Every structure is written in C-alpha cells, then in structure tokens.
Amino acid sequence: MTHAKDNSEKSSLILKKNTAEMVLGRTHDMLGLTARTMEVTSGQQIKAEGPERQRDSKGPYGPEYLDPFTGMEFVWVPGGSFEMGDVLSDYDLLESSCPVHTVKLYGFYMGRCAVTQGEWMRVMGKNPSGYPRGDRYPVVEVSWNDVQEFIFRLNQQSGRTYALPSEAQWEYAAREGGKRVRFGTGRDCIGPDEANYDCSGKYVETYSRAGLYRGETVPVDSFFPNALGLYQMSGNVWEWCHDEWHDNYEGAPQDGSVWKTGEDLDRATDRVIRGGGWNCLPQDLRAASRSGDYSSSWLDNLGFRLARPCSLQEG
C-alpha cells in the first residue's frame, strides 16, 4: 500500500499490509479546445467546466462506442507495450510500484468517464451516493462487490460484456497509452484547473500547484480529457480495478490481464484502487500510485469506470 503524509485534519481509513500504511479518503490542452474555466456557483461550491463534445464521434485512435442501454461512452485504447510502474523514479512511491516491468496489451475500450449516478440508476434502480447528487456526478459509496452486481445486471440487460479494467489496463490508459507521464492528464504537473483534489497550499508538491479546494465531487466530464479522450483519470474519485491487491509487482502478469492468486469468487479479497479522489493529496493522483481496499468497502470518494475487451464486440 502507498505511504502518505500523516494528516490529523482528515478522516482516513488506514489499512496495514506488511508494515506499510495506506491512507484512504485523502488521498492539454487538446486539438484547439478552448481554455479551461472554473465558475464559482455559490459559497465554496465550484463547477469545473470542460469542453463540449459530440457523441458517437471518432476518437483520437479509433471509433468511439456508445452503450445503447445506458448511454455510457467508451473510447478506443490501442494496444501496445509499456513500462508499468514508477518509471519517473518518484522517491515516495516505494516498493508498491516496483519493479518496473514490461507489459504488452491488446487494444480495448475504456469508459470515457467514471460511471455516473444516472447510469447506475438505470441498471440498479436506486442511487447509493450521498451529496452531491446528480445524473452526471460519479456514483460513489459502492463497494467492489456492489460493482460486480452492477456489471452482472448490465451485461444481462444490454447483451454486452463489460468488466472492471485490470490494473495494467488502467495505468496504460491513464498514461495515454503508456507514455512516461506523471498524471492521467498527460502532464507531469497538476493543478486545480486540471483535476479535483485537495490542492490546499500546505500540501503542494514540486509537481503540483495550489488552488481552491472544492471539498466534494464534480461532474465526471469536468476539466479536459487526456490524449485518449478519457476524463479524470487523476482525481475526483478513486476507481476500482478488478485485480486483487499485491504489495508490489513481483510476479505480475506481463500481458495486461487481471492479477489474481485466489478464487475470484472470494469476495473478501482486497482489491486495487487507482487515481485518487476529491479529498486526496497530489501524490495520490499520480498514474503510478497504487492503493487498495477491502472488496466490501464503500467510501464517498470511491467509484469506478468500465472496460470492454475488443474481442467481445457484439454487432
């Protein structure tokens, strides 16, 4: 699990694995798009605006895909090889993001955004999320086990095959196809105009900028997407991956597949989470940062996005 600064001002869920402490709950501009803006709506509530886009358009690397049942949008992530892990040698990632290793993946579809409350409602019929609520806000307070039930129902109702991404797929997509970049924005430095996180001045790192801390989630298509067209691969909500948690990459698959050592039906197994959330510090938003939680855990900064293998394209 990742080490993090002790922050007595935050309520954190702490898991210990092999004496490593993990803290949860703290955790470019593209193709002529207009400048980023932030609009103060009332009090401390801030809406982070991103570019307008057309649905059913051709993405940067291939056709995009719209699920006919929920309206969820998916972008094509072309296959390739990349070096997974702490390729930038950040001093505090420690052993959990090592050793750096080569992974070769086939192309796949990745959800343009985290799954929203509206999309969850269409499948499950009720909204588990607390405030703020809205169809375009990410669904939160869903455990890994809850997500498996959502996927089961979605696959039945839509006639398609979806799954949580593997950890390798998630990092490859966050790094725009395996580029040597620090954040899911495609950049090595991050600020409040690019992501939703705790950007308070006292938490600034050499690779982050200070700004106004929003203190809650924002709509999933806020800010600008990375070069693959994926929104908020850093910040807003942590995202579940399918993989079981491992303390480091010793013995990790080299084909991008889900890494599991036990029976997948063991729903008590710790699972990987990636990307950082709205109340996380800058270091948690790095594409190589890893964390995890019990599969039964649900938090107000924890959601998910879906993937779809290219070999399973129906119609």
Of 271, 272, 196, 189, the C-alpha closest to 231 is 196
Q: Whole-angstrom Cα distance, residue 1 to residue 246?
A: 8
Residues 34, 40: Cα–Cα separation, whole Å: 19
Q: What is the pTM of this model?
A: 0.81
For the domain with range 30-312, which CATH number is right: 3.40.605.10, 3.90.226.10, 3.90.1580.10, 3.30.470.10?
3.90.1580.10
Q: What is the pLDDT of residue 94?
A: 67
Sign of CA dihedral 111, 116, 122, 128: positive
Cβ(315)–Cβ(294) under 8 Å? Answer: no
pLDDT of residue 295: 94
- pLDDT one digit per residue (tens) for the chain, 315 residues: 433 333 333 333 333 333 233 333 333 333 222 222 232 222 233 445 544 444 445 656 667 889 988 999 999 999 999 999 999 988 777 688 999 999 999 999 999 999 999 999 999 999 999 989 999 999 999 999 999 999 999 999 998 999 999 999 999 999 999 999 999 999 999 999 999 999 999 999 999 999 989 999 999 999 999 999 999 999 999 999 999 999 999 999 999 999 987 655 555 589 999 999 999 999 999 999 999 999 999 999 999 999 998 754 443
Rounded Cα distance, 246 and 236, in Å: 24
Q: How many CA atoms lie within 13 A of 246 on its CB side?
A: 18
